[in-house]
Chain A
Amino acid sequence: MPRIAYAFPDEVLEHVFSFIHSDQDRNAISLVCKSWYEIERWCRRSIFVGNCYAVSPVMVVKRFPKLRSISLKGKPHFADFNLVPEDWGGYACPWIEAMASAYPWLEEIRLKRMVLTDESLELISKSFKNFQVLVLSSCEGFSTDGLAAIAANCRNLRELDLRESEVEDLSGHWLSQFPDSFTSLVSLNISCLGSEVSTCALERLLAGCPNLQSLRLNRAVPLEKLVNLLGRSPNLVELGTGAYTSEMQPDVFSDLSRAFVGCKQLKSLSGFWDAMPYYLPAVYPISSRLTSLNLSYATTESPYLVKLVSECRNLQRLWVMDYIEDSGLEALAVSCKDLRELRVFPSDPFGLEPNVALTERGLVSVSEGCPELQSVLYFCRQMSNAALVTIARNRPNMTRFRLCIIEPRKPDYLTLQPLDAGFGAIVEHCKNLRRLSLSGLLTDRVFEYIGSYGKKLEMLSVAFAGDSDLGLHYVLSGCDNLRKLEVRDCPFGDKALLANAAKLETMRSLWMSSCNVSFGACKLLGQKMPRLNVEVIIDERGPPDSMPESCLVEKLYIYRTVAGPRMDMPGFVWRYTGP
């Protein structure tokens, strides 16, 4: 067999490899033999680094000399919910600097949960002659000045997407930095920006970019201006409106409606801040074209909401607030047979009593009526095992299931039992489940089910659940494909963690906060497992060295790495260093 491999010159192999795009396949190719590793690394064009600390920029640049596209993720997912302190890390700067010198032909940078400075943005704008795509998802640390540099210098920019980033918004003038000759823009997402952007600059930009397909405006763009903008971008496929509210004027209404109709490719709508019921029907004429609708910023309690949703017969994705209520979801289940993804967000997350009539029934209806439903994120205030079992039986094709019962540790409201059986049914029936988030009252039993049945599970989020270490042990020993585990406020401790230490090297990361892991266990893990970074986020009590070994750590983040301890740990992150 080796003889056959040598019979192909490198160029042929390289050509064959060029048809392989999936990262996993590429990784597999590189493991076949040394020569394939060499050939592959020279022709890899795109990499994805799920944890920026798992490997160093120097190592990446050394191994892959010809990258055109890089994706990096930084902070742990729970940073989204303020569980990770400021200045924890996730700095993009060392990566940008390494790439600036190594990859003059880099085209695409995608960052998630990373800290990026204006200097880095400027470096990007000046280092890469053919830079095309910048996606900054949930990033922070930069201002509109950095964006101005990008606008001014990236002549071939196709995509600028700031989704959900925190940008220091100095002014809207950065948008005017796009030169008059700029024509390449295909996608622009500025929905996270606070201040007004110059509508003139926007109009000029749109006029110059005939290939614009995706435009997501920010809340500061008034509804009246939207009409003009739509007129200049007739090829839009995705639109994010600004504030969807105005004085009730029939002119504006009909202009808006006409503008929507004029965008014949329009399939996806989002934005809808402060949505006024009066203007929702402006969407009706195009509702049957819509495949994606994000109404999750629309704080509208209105029957128009339900009507709109019911009119969108071809809807595949719906994000909405719980104002839709069970009745709206029932209507959705009747009308939208192609629905694949549903997210329902809470309108009053901190209130103790329900403010809307949204219960488990809505989700059950959708699971019954929508055969393609695969991905669910659902916030509600009550759940039952019976409902979960029904959902599981209805939808064995579920791949992502995230349920958040707002009150921690709430039992089945009918039987007052833990929800173990319900979630157990989910993992048992949904054999391709890749992502699961748990809530409600749960004992170790649910983890036993997850360990037994969750063989394809890649990401698990757990909060206020379980009785003992057994819970953690079941998951770590049973879920063969587990990559990310994040746990908070569960009684999981040293035993399960240490007993499954080897498992941790097969995962991307483990987050545990407010659990029962001791400093002693962290030290031991750090000592014995050089390929893990065991990082303790220190709280008020002081660094772990000063504490008795039996003291519990408040926050723990463990991830596999080939880069050794990270150099940029802030003072409040501790890592075992000594002998």
Chain B
Amino acid sequence: MDVRSRNEEVSPQLLDLIPKAKKEWRMNEEGRTQNNKNTKKDKSCCEERKLELRLGPPGGEDWFLPHNHNTKNSDESVLYLGYFPSQQTEKISTSPWACSSSSKASSFLQFPSCSPQSMPEKKAFSSSSSANPAVSSNISQKRTAPGPVVGWPPIRSFRKNLASNGISKTAHETQQQQNDVADKVAGKKPVVDNVGKGLFVKINMDGVPIGRKVDLNAYDSYEKLSSAVDELFRCLLAAQRDSSAGGIKNKEEDEEKAITGLLDGSGEYTLVYEDNEGDRMLVGDVPWHMFVSTVKRLRVLKSSELSAFTLGNKQHKKAT
């Protein structure tokens, strides 16, 4: 595989650019497109910063792609993302399905500002933290018990809990194994999968419309569960706060408030669960292994909404 000599230069530079790029990738206050601070090849058409798009044929001749390196030896490997000089005519492509390499480069609108990037300055995006608030950031860094990354590794649900669970199975258990899906029609599918290595239970949080699932077998104590719940929902809560405040979402500078005091009633939220008899209980009262064997689903409630009714059930249970 040919390795361009340029690459050796690029890689270390790329790493150097990460902290810089992170700052540059901030959204500016007018809510426009992410800036590409490119000083080297700045053609100063950056006055127009609106988002625009290009409808030219894919792979048309106007593209100077760095992979033409074997013919060019320019050390300015320039990528034009649709920058056109202003005198070009604007024609709208008429054959929508045609993947033609027609030389009539029909350009609809000029692509913005973000003038040609040169390779050394391309943004090395630190993807682990910024792309997705809902994905636990554990996965990329640590080797401790990771939070669940939805859909990874990419295996079908019915393969997840295949680890043998003994020879005789009831039909119900078998069905649970075969119908394991993260979000199912309520009331029709089981919410707990109790076989093999994963013990996934649904968890919903007040104010967060879309529920999640946690694997209780990944934890061995209430503390670990509590911190996992904190991590799972912290970003989502912050996102909700941002949206309700109408503020600009800025992931890197977001201060996410930790969700604490889930187990002792001291925090804004409290963790409760439904057991196999349908009763709602506070999490933390029974030994961990007993909890794991009876829990059916989890909820994170606002502490202020814990009613006497909820606690009454628990007390009743304690008495019996």
Interface 0/1 of B174-211, CB less than 8 Å to A = 11111101111100100000000110000000001110
Given the contacts A219-B174, A505-B97, A404 and B154 also touching, CB distance less than 8 Å: yes
On chain A, the residues within 8 Å of B174 by CB distance are 194-195, 219-220
Interface residues of B in 11-49 (CB under 8 A from A): 11, 14, 27-28, 31-34, 36
* Contact status A516-B53, CB under 8 Å: no
Query: Does A548 touch B at the CB level, under 8 Å?
Result: yes
Query: Does A478 touch B at the CB level, under 8 Å?
Result: yes
The answer for the CA separation of A78 and B154 in the assembled complex, in Å, is 8
Closest to A524 in B: B51
Given the contacts A540-B209, A550-B248, A506 and B34 also touching, CB distance less than 8 Å: no
* Contact status A541-B124, CB under 8 Å: no
Given the contacts A81-B152, A299-B162, A499 and B14 also touching, CB distance less than 8 Å: no
Closest to A429 in B: B1
Interface residues of A in 169-208 (CB under 8 A from B): 169, 192-196
* Contact status A540-B67, CB under 8 Å: no
* Contact status B239-A195, CB under 8 Å: no
Interface residues of B in 61-103 (CB under 8 A from A): 63, 65-67, 79, 81-82, 93, 96-97, 99
Partner of B65, one of A445, A478, A518: A478
Given the contacts A474-B67, A480-B59, A520-B51, A502 and B33 also touching, CB distance less than 8 Å: no
* Contact status B179-A85, CB under 8 Å: no
Query: Does A294 touch B at the CB level, under 8 Å?
Result: no
The answer for the CA separation of A478 and B185 in the assembled complex, in Å, is 41
Query: Does B55 touch A at the CB level, under 8 Å?
Result: yes
Interface residues of A in 470-507 (CB under 8 A from B): 470, 473-474, 476-478, 480, 488-491, 493-496, 498-503, 505-506
Query: Does A379 touch B at the CB level, under 8 Å?
Result: yes
* Contact status B32-A550, CB under 8 Å: yes
* Contact status A548-B31, CB under 8 Å: yes
Given the contacts A220-B174, A516-B34, A499 and B243 also touching, CB distance less than 8 Å: no
Query: Does A119 touch B at the CB level, under 8 Å?
Result: no
* Contact status B151-A349, CB under 8 Å: no
* Contact status A541-B240, CB under 8 Å: yes
* Contact status A489-B143, CB under 8 Å: no
Closest to A83 in B: B151
Give the contact stretch, choosing among A34-42, A149-157, A254-262, A340-348: A340-348
* Contact status A539-B178, CB under 8 Å: no
On chain B, the residues within 8 Å of A505 by CB distance are 96-97
Query: Does A515 touch B at the CB level, under 8 Å?
Result: yes
On chain A, the residues within 8 Å of B36 by CB distance are 495
- Classify the secondary structure of B's interface with A: loop
* Contact status A467-B124, CB under 8 Å: yes
* Contact status A546-B59, CB under 8 Å: no
On chain A, the residues within 8 Å of B139 by CB distance are 407-408
* Contact status B99-A549, CB under 8 Å: no
Give the contact stretch, choosing among A18-26, A281-289, A420-428: A420-428
The answer for the CA separation of A159 and B122 in the assembled complex, in Å, is 55
Given the contacts A82-B183, A404-B154, A408-B149, A540 and B249 also touching, CB distance less than 8 Å: no
The answer for the CA separation of A196 and B172 in the assembled complex, in Å, is 10
* Contact status B122-A468, CB under 8 Å: yes
On chain B, the residues within 8 Å of A428 by CB distance are 1
Given the contacts A82-B182, A498-B52, A499-B111, A490 and B127 also touching, CB distance less than 8 Å: yes
Query: Does A250 touch B at the CB level, under 8 Å?
Result: no
* Contact status B163-A347, CB under 8 Å: yes
On chain B, the residues within 8 Å of A541 by CB distance are 239-240, 242-243, 249
The answer for the CA separation of A274 and B164 in the assembled complex, in Å, is 6
The answer for the CA separation of A499 and B107 in the assembled complex, in Å, is 10
Query: Does B221 touch A at the CB level, under 8 Å?
Result: no
5 additional A-B pairs beyond A491-B130, A514-B132, beta carbons within 8 Å, are: A194-B171, A274-B164, A468-B125, A521-B33, A528-B55
Q: What would 29 A/B residue contacts be, using CB atoms closer than 8 Å?
A: A81-B150, A164-B158, A194-B176, A219-B178, A220-B171, A348-B163, A352-B143, A352-B145, A404-B154, A406-B153, A437-B154, A463-B152, A469-B123, A473-B81, A477-B65, A480-B59, A480-B99, A491-B131, A498-B53, A498-B54, A499-B81, A501-B55, A518-B51, A520-B33, A539-B210, A539-B239, A549-B31, A550-B33, A554-B134
